[in-house]
Structure 1
């Protein structure tokens, strides 16, 4: 399956690719044609998203065809080589932020991780205990509401209050830095697991593109890889659990907001995910944005404002309701990744993001950062 098929002919899709012998390029998708629109006016994705109307700017940009979508897919494999025409993450200078515990279903699993202290062997017993007390009571609760505070009191009395429930149904959202600018990977790349992790899973999510003014200008797909054992041992290990080499994938393209697609479409989005292992194991999952506990616009407001500025904008993972409990290796241990798992995340309006799971120590080292991008663009006369 190709990473994208245009649901409407006038949809504004932009992305970033690596051009052999040249370097990063800003591209527009015109049907099956990949058009390089990099220029002095918009040399980066960050520059494009700062324009008054990014969708109109992208549509009107002059450019030239550098290949087809099928050719881009063919070059975006681990075997194709570093200097092939291949997908990059749509983000360049933007910070990569993520919000956690935004869905009731995954919220309960975070509590289980904490209660089990990151030990998958204890998860089943803890799940039964937590489920008997919490059940479906968290579904539909507005974070910070009077009802949420009453539930908090009940859970505290039962000895089950948790830092995850605090950010899940309390007034303040969890927003953290997933990785530095330029560190996310694109379609077809390996996504990395820290080698010390033995309990982990993918997280299929919508990712918003937000400019420096706090305006949401587009959306794409993301895999916010989660190391359940590290974070379960201690919340202070969140940085180690979330930010490693190739720790998240974004793409394949960013769909820019216009009259045909906007935030309400994100609020209605239905994500599907499939995992196919080299051992023959398969798992399918689903995440419905209609079940998110916090409105995406509220998460953005809690991220950027007078309290915190992002002069280059940011990409924001919105969280997931997907938390797999299907046993893979042993009864009661639930799911964990194996190296070589292929993870496909799709949504009708945004296409499909596909990546292969590797250890972070086996993914290509991250060497092309912001300074390298600036030198490259300057050498091409684009700055």
Structure 2
């Protein structure tokens, strides 16, 4: 098992408290038919890192990022509540039990925020929440080989107004973050905990936890539907849905701090900013 970190100066691999600098790219890992073996070879050729990088980049290269919805019962209930007035609640009830999962495009690599970068909330949404999600790393052959922590930011008032507004509620500046690393060689099991903490003005504004035992669909099932009649030559990342949804009327505010932790992977931390204040990706 390895933890793969992407830094401005290159890649670092961690294993059993040891850290090494390795010569490979994140795209090489996703394009490999055997990512674990590739990392083992890189580890053997690597050199001990002088220090742990304090600036981490999201573990994504040329990959598209997709997301699954309504994969936890809590998410089903929350989506039905937010869309009931618009008459869209029935759709979420149906997809929870359907054979085919809800999958949607979330972001290209350039739209993903790094650990420590701000994530955005829309000025035209009155109800904004983070969605903590285990995110699967899938190679070009459709094999799930690793996982990271994901934050699928969501404008719930927009999606609740009409389910057809989903792309606007989900895809905008600063709407996703990944990190702090990529776990390869061992995937989190059902007992693994996902926790969400939101701080505001130095005090805790929200705390929630769930476990992966509440995830309705298997990793392989979700990856299989994503790759069905589709191809990803650079592999893909797939957010698996959320089991933690803050109750209304809680909504994020600028300068809130979001911390999402998953057992065995680590903690992804981001501050909150207005989406319009987040610099374009080419200027970061």
Provide the TM-score with structure 2 as the length reference.
Answer: 0.91
Q: Secondary structure at the match of 2:56?
A: strand
- The number of residue pairs the alignment matches comes to 282
CA distance in 2, matches of 1:192, 1:241: 11
Counting only pairs closer than 5 Å after superposition, residues 323-334 of structure 1 correspond to structure 2 as 323-325=245-247, 333-334=248-249
Give the superposition deviation at 1:170: 1.6
CA distance in 2, matches of 1:160, 1:232: 8
Matched, 1:320 2:242: yes
RMSD: 2.2
Partner of 2:276: 361
CA distance in 1, matches of 2:202, 2:4: 36
Matched, 1:46 2:27: yes
Partner of 2:198: 275
Alpha carbons of structure 1 residues 339 and 34: separation in structure 2 relative to 1, 3 Å: farther
- Deviation per CA, 1:41-83, whole angstroms, max 9, x where unpaired? x3x31212332432232233134456533xx33xxxxxxxxxx
Which of 7, 24, 27 is the matching residue for 2:12? Answer: 27
More strand by share: 2
Q: Secondary structure at the match of 1:102?
A: coil
Q: Secondary structure at the match of 1:222?
A: strand
Which of 98, 103, 106 is the matching residue for 2:67? Answer: 98
Alpha carbons of structure 1 residues 266 and 220: separation in structure 2 relative to 1, 3 Å: farther
CA distance in 2, matches of 1:113, 1:283: 19
CA distance in 1, matches of 2:79, 2:271: 24
Give the superposition deviation at 1:31: 6.1
Assess if the C-alpha contact under 8 Å between 1:287 and 1:320 holds in 2: no
Alpha carbons of structure 1 residues 226 and 160: separation in structure 2 relative to 1, 3 Å: closer
Which sections of structure 2, spanning at least 5 residues, go unmatched?
none
Partner of 1:59: 40
Q: Which of the two has higher C-alpha Rg?
A: 1
Assess if the C-alpha contact under 8 Å between 2:150 and 2:178 holds in 1: yes
Q: Secondary structure at the match of 2:281?
A: coil
Q: Secondary structure at the match of 1:113?
A: helix
Matched, 1:185 2:113: yes
Alpha carbons of structure 1 residues 177 and 225: separation in structure 2 relative to 1, 3 Å: same
CA distance in 1, matches of 2:18, 2:257: 26
